[in-house]
Amino acid sequence: MTNRKDALRDQRAKMLAAAPDWRASDARVNPRVAIGSIIAMWLIYFLITTGLAMLTGAPEQWSYAGRRAIVVIAGILCTFVLYQLLQRAQPQSFGARLAAALGAAIPLVVVYATINLFVFFYWFPAPDTAKIIEEVQSKFPVAWEMVLILDSSIRWYFFFAVWAALYVAFGYANEMRAVERRANHFRIEAQTAQLRALHYQVNPHFLFNTLNSLSTLVLKGSKSEAETMIMNLASFLRSSLAVDPEQLVSLDEEIALQRLYLDIEQTRFPDRLQVEVAMPDELKNACVPVLILQPIIENAIKYGVSPSKGKIAIRLTASAEYGLLILRIENDIDPKAPVPASGTGLGLGNVRERLLTRYGPTAGCEWGPSDDGGFVVSLWLPLAREAC
């Protein structure tokens, strides 16, 4: 059983440490966000440049604003094409993705610079356009247009590159959120597997002890007691195995399950076992993990009732403090009885681990000698009264 528990932990650790599978769709940006960022970027550019022109008192401001509106529309279209290219090309690494985005921006910047040249130098030339062309032709008589396009491309490339980098950043953020969601899913799956394993450790441990007791009754010839124990065992197993190990039940239901178990033990110790339950009515619907009390009560039988010669009481009390449900299970110990061999701590360790796995540090379990010479186990967990 220990080997199985260790194997489960190793498997859980490998699951959490494994790199999540990469999916290109995770890095894609929502079309509304992408298109909205394109329009917003070019609109901001238009407003800033037009506002600065008005503040400086530049001539023919409205005609320039019209030309600028045309190239802004062209810029939106070119950036949209860049967005379509980036949406289809999704390298796995962030660096490759960024390099692809910056590389894809180059031809579109050239296209935009060419449109800019046609708008400002051919279709809607300004009064000083001819002078600018003359100056450029004097320096580059053959390829003056290419020089203007190249110069404009260099200046506009950084504008396109900023948006491309922003798109890649958005995609990377989406990818990280998707990876985190899958990692959380893996953690939940691992936690579920651990809870199931811890739960299923209870039944074999209990069944082993019960069958030993049943064997003793058969050897003693106690037929009626053996039949009663078999019936009680069948009822307990039917009830306990029918529940989901991840299920929460009300405290009242949990105690009812434990009474089925105590009925089995009552057959073994009819004159020695005494059970006392103190549970306020307002806590009967408090939610607890199913069978969380079973290993504790089993230990109380094994180390308190079984070795004694006189009557031994097992007392279960429930209380609420500071938003926590506190359960206390105490059993007497006969000082004259032989001290049984110490156990492995599997049962109580199981309880503590189940609580920590489900609730984290807000829950816990402690045990040790009580003030009156008995043994006490205390456990606490968040108090919840919702439908379990």
Per-residue pLDDT band at 17 (split at 50, 70, 90): very low
- Report yes or no on 196 lying in a domain: no
- Report yes or no on 272 lying in a domain: yes
- Report yes or no on 209 lying in a domain: no
- Report yes or no on 207 lying in a domain: no
Do 242 and 176 sit in the same domain of this protein? no
pLDDT at 4: 46
Do 283 and 170 sit in the same domain of this protein? no
Which CATH number fits the domain that encloses residue 279? 3.30.565.10
Evaluate if residue 13 carries a pLDDT over 50: no
Do 261 and 330 sit in the same domain of this protein? yes
Per-residue pLDDT band at 358 (split at 50, 70, 90): confident
Evaluate if residue 129 carries a pLDDT over 80: no
Do 162 and 230 sit in the same domain of this protein? no
Do 285 and 152 sit in the same domain of this protein? no
- Report yes or no on 214 lying in a domain: no
- Report yes or no on 286 lying in a domain: yes
pLDDT at 320: 93
Residues 113, 115, 116: CA angle, nearest 5 degrees: 60
Do 160 and 231 sit in the same domain of this protein? no
Do 150 and 243 sit in the same domain of this protein? no
Do 25 and 148 sit in the same domain of this protein? yes
Range of the domain at 121: 2-185
Do 172 and 233 sit in the same domain of this protein? no
Per-residue pLDDT band at 288 (split at 50, 70, 90): very high
Among 132, 156, 185, where does a domain finish? Answer: 185
Query: Which tokens go with 323?
Result: 């938003």
Do 239 and 100 sit in the same domain of this protein? no
Do 80 and 126 sit in the same domain of this protein? yes
- Tell me if the pTM is above 0.75: no
**Contacts by 102-108, CB closer than 8 A, 24 or more apart:** 102/161, 102/164, 102/165, 104/164, 105/157, 105/160, 105/161, 105/164, 106/153, 106/157, 108/78, 108/79, 108/81, 108/82, 108/160
pLDDT at 23: 60
Q: Return the minimum-mean-pLDDT range out of 58-67, 154-163, 278-287, 350-359.
A: 58-67
pLDDT at 95: 79
Do 155 and 37 sit in the same domain of this protein? yes
- As for how many domains the chain has, the answer is 2
- Report yes or no on 200 lying in a domain: no
Evaluate if residue 195 carries a pLDDT over 60: no
- Report yes or no on 156 lying in a domain: yes
Query: Ranked by mean pLDDT, which of 192-196, 216-220, 298-302, 344-348 comes out on top?
Result: 298-302
